[in-house]
């Protein structure tokens, strides 16, 4: 614990060195010339690189905007504005920004963030190769904690900021995980202060053109000029929640001919929830002796069987509750959607119930 505290103090000092601003040349140095070896991934308006603050080796994430892409400059301004006015443990913390010129005299814009050691929730849920699967298998409790973290971040944006903020682009790749598997919501390039959105009649058209890359998470009304509001984020959260626990993207090939992720889950509740849940959740419980199976029943005393049976029953009960929250959040009627403050309370209750077993 003491070592972790010291590490955080060192990190804080390093960030302070860059708080007042950072130059293009410093970012070039920290990312080894924006080397492909340092490339972490891509986001809507650019690329993210792993950087190292030269003074003491603290690792950061450097988001470089592709200014050739329409909307990138506005995204930079909006993201700076949103992140400057908010602070929450489950939101990605911005360290500094850079608006300058590169070596060719072209405009250069970049944002520097805390580095998230465990990458995105997308890469955690869908490992790129089979070798990563065992190490990146997430337990039910890890998923539940992450889901609560994301809900807490949205609750803060929607209900506890001076002016409500709509994220507008919530999805797995925009949820980042630190070394302790705490979730941080990031990529606020499309975030909007609600009062500005209401006074901007052209914004719905802009949203329609920019949100094509997030099909599956975006409220259908946004694509037809619907009003941007917090219930759009709620819808996206509902889809994300279902995806987290069944391990299938909303754009999976199986979802066609009228079958959506919403319908797939709804048809399974409550009796067949264990048939649709991500198998790695079950595997995790089996590995820890908490799920009854034929082999266990034949070779193990009843005391262990009983514990396994109770744990399995509680898991099923909690999964049904989680899925019901997800379905409520992504209901087609906005009036039927559960707001994020209620989601946080209900998800926390589910967690407490599971931990008591």
Q: What's the CATH code of the domain at 141? A: 1.10.510.10
Per-residue confidence (pLDDT) for residue 300, from 0 to 100: 41
What CATH number is given to the structural domain containing 19? 3.30.200.20
Distance CA 110, CA 108 (A): 7
Structure confidence at residue 181 as a pLDDT band (50, 70, 90): very high
Domain end among 114, 131, 164? 114
Structure confidence at residue 38 as a pLDDT band (50, 70, 90): very high
CA geometry: angle 139, 145, 148, nearest 5 deg: 140
Task: Let me know whether 89 and 130 are in one domain.
Answer: no
Host domain of residue 20: 2-114
Task: Let me know whether 190 and 96 are in one domain.
Answer: no
Please tell me whether residue 40 adopts helix, strand or coil conformation: strand
Q: Give how many domains the chain has, as a whole number.
A: 2
Q: Which of 114-118, 149-153, 215-219, 335-339 has the highest mean pLDDT?
A: 149-153
Ordered DSSP codes for 1-18: -HHHHHHHHHHHHHHHHH
Q: Which residues are catalytic?
A: 169
H-helix or E-strand spanning residue 74: helix 72-84
Per-residue confidence (pLDDT) for residue 61, from 0 to 100: 94
Domain end among 114, 131, 147? 114
pLDDT in tens, 246-279: 999 998 989 888 899 999 999 999 999 999 999 9
Task: Let me know whether 82 and 215 are in one domain.
Answer: no
Task: Let me know whether 51 and 127 are in one domain.
Answer: no
Structure confidence at residue 33 as a pLDDT band (50, 70, 90): very high
Task: Let me know whether 140 and 60 are in one domain.
Answer: no
pLDDT in tens, 92-142: 988 888 889 998 899 999 989 999 999 999 999 998 765 444 445 789 999
Domain end among 86, 114, 142? 114
Q: Which two tokens stand for residue 14?
A: 């390093």
Task: Give which of 87, 37, 27, 91 is closest to 61, Cα–Cα.
Answer: 27
Task: Let me know whether 57 and 136 are in one domain.
Answer: no
Task: Let me know whether 210 and 92 are in one domain.
Answer: no
Q: Which two tokens stand for residue 109?
A: 């814009």
Task: Let me know whether 184 and 316 are in one domain.
Answer: yes
């Amino acid at each position: 614990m003491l070592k972790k505290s010291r590490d955080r103090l060192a990190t804080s000092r390093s960030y302070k060195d860059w708080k007042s601003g950072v130059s293009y040349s410093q970012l070039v140095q920290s990312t080894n010339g924006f080397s492909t070896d340092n490339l972490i991934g891509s986001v809507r308006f650019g690329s993210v690189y792993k950087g190292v603050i030269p003074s003491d080796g603290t690792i950061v994430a450097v988001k470089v905007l592709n200014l050739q892409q329409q909307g990138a400059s506005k995204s930079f301004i909006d993201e700076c504005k949103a992140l400057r006015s908010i602070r929450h443990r489950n939101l990605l913390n911005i360290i500094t920004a850079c608006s300058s010129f590169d070596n060719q005299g072209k405009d250069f814009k970049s944002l520097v963030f805390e580095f998230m050691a465990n990458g995105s929730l997308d890469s955690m849920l869908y490992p790129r190769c089979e070798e990563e699967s065992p190490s990146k298998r997430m337990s039910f409790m890890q998923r539940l904690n992450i889901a609560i973290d994301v809900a807490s971040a949205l609750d803060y944006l929607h209900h506890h900021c001076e002016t409500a903020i709509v994220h507008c682009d919530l999805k797995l790749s925009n949820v980042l995980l630190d070394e302790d598997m705490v979730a941080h919501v990031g990529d606020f390039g499309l975030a909007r202060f609600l009062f500005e959105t209401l006074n901007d009649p052209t914004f719905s058209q802009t949203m329609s053109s920019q949100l094509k890359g997030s099909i599956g998470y975006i409220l259908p009304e946004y694509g037809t000029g619907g009003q941007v509001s917090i219930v759009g984020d709620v819808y996206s959260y509902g889809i994300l929640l279902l995806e987290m626990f069944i391990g299938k993207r909303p754009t999976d090939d199986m979802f066609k001919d009228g079958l959506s992720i919403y319908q797939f889950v709804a048809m399974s509740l409550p009796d067949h929830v264990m048939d649709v849940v991500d198998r790695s959740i079950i595997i995790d419980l089996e590995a820890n002796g908490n799920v009854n199976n034929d082999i266990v029943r034949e070779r193990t005393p009843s005391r262990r069987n009983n514990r396994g049976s109770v744990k399995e029953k509680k898991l099923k009960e909690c999964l049904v509750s989680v899925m019901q929250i997800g379905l409520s959040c992504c209901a087609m009627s906005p009036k039927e959607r559960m707001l994020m403050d209620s989601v946080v309370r209900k998800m926390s209750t589910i967690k407490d119930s599971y931990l008591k077993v």
